[in-house]
Amino acid sequence: MAANDNNDIIQEFLAETRENMDQMERDLMVWEKQPGDRETLDRIFRAVHTLKGTCGFLSFSKLEGIAHQAENLLSHVREQKRAVDPKVVTVLLQVLDAVRRNLSKIERTGSEDPQIFGSVLAELQTLQSETTETPANAVLELEEESPRATATENSLRVEVGLLDRLMNLVGELVLTRNQISQIGISEENPSLTSASQKLSHITSELQASIMKTRLQPIGNVWSKFPRLVRDAAMAGGKKIRIEMTGQQTELDKSIIEAIKDPLTHLIRNCIDHGIEIPERRMAAGKPEEGVIRLKAFHEGGLVLVEISDDGAGIRPELIREAALRRGLITTAKADVMTDHDLIQLIFVPGFSTAREVTMLSGRGVGMDVVKTNLERISGTIDVISTLGEGTQFKIKLPLTLAIIPALLVKSGGERFAIPQLSLLELIRLDGAKAEQKIEWIDDVPVYRLRGRLLPLVYLNEELKLAKRHEPGPEESVNIIVLESHNGPFGLIVDEVRDTEEIVVKPLGRQLKSLSVFAGATIMGDGGVVLILDVMGLAQKVRPGETVEQRQAQKRARAEEAATPVDTGENLLLFQLGDSSRWAVELSDVTRLEEFYAHEIERAGTVPVVQYRGQIMLLMPLQQLLMPTGERWQPEFSADKLQVIVHSRNGVCYGLLVDRIIDIAREPLVLQRQKSSVGVLGSIVIQRQVTQIIDIETLVKLGTVAEEIDGIRKN
């Protein structure tokens, strides 16, 4: 056999064995809780048996020997000659750890480590000696199975490096598409415009397909946590179980790799600081077994990950005491901090409430690393804690890092891009109104947004592009409301341009020290645009420890505390017909898209459009909500048609509207109940009667459902 062939076989063996060991670890966690589950036990046995056979074929004698001993132990359990207890599971988990270390040694050197199985082999033999007798042939049932695992015919392994190169090439293709689209617009050439639109469609499809090849379920990361919780709980004398939902939620491989450590830190934090020992839980009226819950789901083009425990919660006064003890804040600052502000201190470098170092925590590292690592991938984290009931961490993540949607703005004559992940809303003030609504508290600008004080940052001033000036009567002020871990803040720019998918390029080492920039991109006209770092800009909102700034923060919090709590909902306002105003809850909106009339096709009698690998049904809302008896027909024009995209169960639906008006936040208290199907009722928004639609009902309408079924059958 050629050397290359032998190396390929070993690489395939290493990959398959690691996958089998990961699955075996998950099965062991299930089997420990359900020892009577014969199917799981048989699956564990087959994994060990396959490992033994494959190692014998490749002459890895140490691996073959440890697999044989583990197989004997499992045979005793299968034949009910050995009871299942935590000791058996613990030793089998130690076998897995030793096998993984030996696989790493084989990958590095091509040979096994002769000393690696010494202690665990002794443990296995001790457990076997505790059985009543050793069977003569423990593996008789499976002796006829093939020792080699065969790969499925409909899949293949691809190097990550190849996928990275493909993603880079797609990024360059997106840049080229943007450039050609720009030329088509400026040249006003119909043939070029048509070819540009076709190129755009093909590029989008290719981009989506390449991204799918890089997507991995978040369960690949979570699979390690049951073992982590088990071992850490036993070491700490606690009883903890872990519950996971949404394991199939997919993320880009680069993000999957980046969140491993942050999620591990959070799980360890829940174990060490969150869940109480059984005695304290029972004294507090709780079950002695604590619960850690992991949940992942898609929402608004992002992936949300929630990690919660039902432990003791976070005591703000304990945070305050620890921060003062470690010199992280001054007494004067602590006096004006709210409970929410105090809880956020857990993300400050060097913070820890532990007075002594343990195996899990107390060294002052961990939570700050979590926040820093998440911000590096454009993620955010928030913490909500209720004393005596538990703590919940909420993480927002982008689907991918290479190509992201961004808002383009202009300030001081320069263009900048802002990732839409952090965008909350846009506010435009006329010059006269801006002078009245922007207030100054000890030279700190704030804007009163729906009763709450919104800190402001002038981009021109921060980047030293131009000096701050008062807007004239004819000028307007553009405020971009952005979300950060310290809360929302407003960024004032000269102009708001458009949204566009951009390719993120890393900054050179000369610019990496600038905290306000996250990267750069190349626009369709060939110009380079810097991408703003929202978290870096957020630091400008809380600058330092001067007396004036402390006084401003104190007054701002006092005024905020005196205002009513905002219970409003974000609503997307749109127009149907000449003057009819409608709204939909923003949480039901996946994306806003525009399509040319000639891009719309027919599936039978139903208007559809090709969208992100799907045939997306277009629902003309004017026809559904204001029926006239005539079926809607798209007019061929250069104007784009505006569509609200709503997704449900992985299927996208397009709601065709006449015009997107604005985003508003109002309490969703209906003043007039629904008058027709698909309408929740009416409220007054911006002094105009606005009807609220029910997307779910519209999608489920009988006629629409029937037509969708027809499309799928065709």
CA–CA separation, 571 vs 692, rounded Å? 9
CA distance 635 to 38: 64
Per-residue pLDDT tens for 687-696?
Answer: 888 988 888 8
Shared domain for 251 and 392, answered yes or no, is yes
Q: What is the CATH number of the domain that holds 599?
A: 2.40.50.180
Phi, psi of 349, deg, nearest 5: -55, 135
357 with 363: CB under 8 angstroms? yes
463, 379: one domain = no
If we measure between CA atoms, which residue out of 10, 36, 23 comes closest to residue 96?
23
| Statement to judge: residues 433 and 552 lie in one domain | yes
Judge whether 575 lies within some domain: yes
- More confident: 147 or 641: 641
**Which are the contacts of 272, defined by CB distance < 8 A and separation ≥ 6?**
232, 236, 358, 360, 361
Whether 235 maps to a domain, the answer reads yes
How many whole angstroms separate alpha carbon 663 and alpha carbon 481? 12
Q: How many residues does the chain have?
A: 714
Q: Are residues 110 and 199 in the same domain?
A: no
* 492 three-class SS: strand
227, 370: one domain: yes
Distances (CA, A) of 517 to 226, 315, 427, 470: 38, 35, 23, 27
**Distances 229 to 26, 224, 249, 259, 274 between C-alpha atoms, Å:** 12, 9, 22, 18, 13
Interatomic CA distance for residues 664 and 642, integer angstroms? 18
Residue 499 phi, psi (nearest 5): -100, 145
The reply to whether 292 falls in a domain is yes
pLDDT of residue 469 exceeding 90, the answer is no
Q: Rounded distance, CA 28 to CA 31, Å?
A: 5
Whether residue 148 is contained in a domain is answered as no
**Is it the case that residue 121 has pLDDT exceeding 60?**
yes
The whole-chain average pLDDT of the chain stands at: 77
CATH number of the domain encompassing residue 382: 3.30.565.10
Scan for tokens 């002594």, then name that residue.
356
449, 470: one domain: yes
Q: Could you tell me if residue 149 is inside a domain?
A: no
Average pLDDT over residues 86-106: 85
* Same domain assignment for residues 199 and 224: no
Q: Which residues constitute the domain of residue 362?
A: 218-398
Q: Are 419 and 520 in contact (CB under 8 A)?
A: no
The CA dihedral of 620, 625, 626, 628, to the nearest 10 degrees, is 60
In a domain, 155, yes or no: no
Pull the structure tokens for residue 70.
């583990």
The total of other beta-carbon atoms located within 10 Å of residue 97's CB is 14
DSSP calls for 498-518: EEEEEE-BPPPTTTTT-TTEE
Range with the poorest average pLDDT among 2-11, 544-553, 587-596: 544-553
DSSP 271: I
Do 374 and 476 belong together in one domain?
A: no
> Does 444 lie in the same domain as 390?
no
Q: Which of 155, 194, 361, 163 is nearest to 272 (CA)?
A: 361
Output phi, psi for 41, to 5 deg: -60, -45
pLDDT at 134 over 90: no
Identity (one letter) of the amino acid at 523?
M
pLDDT tier for residue 292 given thresholds of 50, 70 and 90: very high
pLDDT for 175: 79
Q: If you ran DSSP here, which 8-state letter would residue 121 be given?
A: H
Helix (H) or strand (E) holding 70: helix 61-78
Identify whether the C-beta of residue 576 lies closer than 8 Å to the C-beta of residue 658.
yes
Is it the case that residue 514 has pLDDT exceeding 70? yes
Mean per-residue pLDDT for 679-701?
A: 84
Given a contact cutoff of 8 angstroms between Cβ atoms, the answer to whether 668 and 585 are in contact is yes
Q: How many CA atoms lie within 13 A of 129 on its CB side?
A: 6
pLDDT of residue 279: 92
Among 9-23, 48-62, 474-488, 561-575, the range scoring the smallest mean pLDDT is 561-575
Assess if residue 329 is contained within a domain: yes
DSSP secondary structure letter of residue 287: -
Of residues 288 and 612, more confidence is placed in 288
Residue 103 to residues 10, 21, 51, 100, 680: CA-CA distances in angstroms? 10, 11, 12, 5, 60
Residue 513 has what pLDDT?
64
Q: Does 120 share its domain with 14?
A: yes
pLDDT at site 543:
39
Per-residue burial over 374-403, b = 16 or more CB atoms within 10 Å of its CB, e = otherwise: bbebbbbbebebeeeebbbbebbbbbbbbb
Q: At 109, is the pLDDT very low, low, confident or very high (cuts 50, 70, 90)?
A: confident
Residue that has been written with the tokens 């604005």 in this structure? 662
Distance between start and end Cα atoms, the chain = 51
| H/E run at residue 100 | helix 86-109
Q: How far apart are CA 82 and CA 129, in angstroms?
A: 10
Q: Looking at per-residue confidence, does 75 or 435 come out higher?
A: 75
Establish if 496 belongs to a structural domain.
Answer: yes
Contact 313, 385 (CB under 8 A): yes
Task: Find the mean pLDDT for residues 675-695.
Answer: 84
Which of 375, 398, 421 terminates a domain? The answer is 398
pTM recorded for the entire structure: 0.55
Question: Whole-angstrom Cα distance, residue 462 to residue 580?
Answer: 42
In terms of Cα–Cα distance, which of 653, 663, 654, 651 is closest to 594?
654
Looking at the structure of the chain, the number of domains it has is 5
Per-residue b or e along 175-214, where b marks 16 or more CB atoms closer than 10 Å to that residue's CB: bebbbbbeebeeeeeeebbeebeebbeebbeebeebbeeb
- Residue 82's contacts (CB-CB under 8 Å, 6 or more residues apart) are 73, 76, 88, 127, 128, 130, 131
Q: Which of 528, 562, 596 is the last residue of a domain?
A: 562
DSSP β-bridge partners for residue 392: 308, 384
Q: Give tens-digit pLDDT for 596-620.
A: 777 888 877 788 888 877 888 888 8
pLDDT tens for 304-323 read 899 999 998 888 888 888 88
Q: Are residues 128 and 186 in the same domain?
A: no
Q: Where are the beta strands (DSSP E) in 276-401?
A: 289-299, 302-309, 380-386, 390-398
Comparing CA positions, the residue from 127, 383, 395, 153 lying closest to residue 261 is: 395
Task: Inform me whether the pLDDT recorded for 556 exceeds 80.
Answer: no
What does R_g of the chain's alpha carbons equal in angstroms? Answer: 30
Domain final residue pick, 374, 398, 422: 398
Q: What mean pLDDT is predicted for residues 626-641? A: 55
Which tokens go with 346? Answer: 């857990």
Q: What CATH number is given to the structural domain containing 186?
A: 1.10.287
Closest by CA to 351, choosing from 334, 336, 365, 338, is 365
Residues 280 and 191 in one domain: no
CATH number at residue 53: 1.20.120.160
